Structure 1
Amino acid sequence: MRSLEDMAARLANALPPQVGPMREELKANFKAVLQSQLAELDLVPREEFEATRDSLVHARARLGELEARLDALEAPKEND
């Protein structure tokens, strides 16, 4: 992912030439806005996301195993 600095610079450089003298100030403002908006998204690091995903995959597999065991226990016996 691009750094906030890089994204702010790209936004500032996309402005028309007439705003040249204010470009650095606008770049700082863009960076501040990006930081505040990203902070509100409640993002998690990729490592934490992947660990949670792996745990969920394991839990789903285990649930499938337990459901199969329960079905086998609840199945009518042939001797009954």
Structure 2
Amino acid sequence: MDRFFMRRARAVQYLLDRRREWLARVEAAKTGSVEFESQQLDLIDSLVRDVRAGRVHAFKLDHPTAVEVFVSD
């Protein structure tokens, strides 16, 4: 697992980049279930709001690669 220390704005940008990756996967999967991808998008959307508001100071993402991010002001 990779660990990163980021300022709040960079952490939000990182999450938005990961969100774009998941959206691309959903769009590429024209058939079949995208339930897992939708759950990941919901998780990232929630994290974006919480990181922006200062309610979250660290978070982990397990897919597609495991990372742990520590947020500083």
Q: Work out whether the TM-score is over 0.5.
A: no
Higher strand share: 2
Q: Which has the larger radius of gyration?
A: 1
TM-score interval for Structure 1 and Structure 2 normalised by the shorter chain: 0.3 to 0.5
Name the TM-score, length of structure 2 as normaliser: 0.34
Higher helix share: 1
Q: Which has the higher contact order (CA 8 A, sep 6+)?
A: 2
Name the TM-score, length of structure 1 as normaliser: 0.32
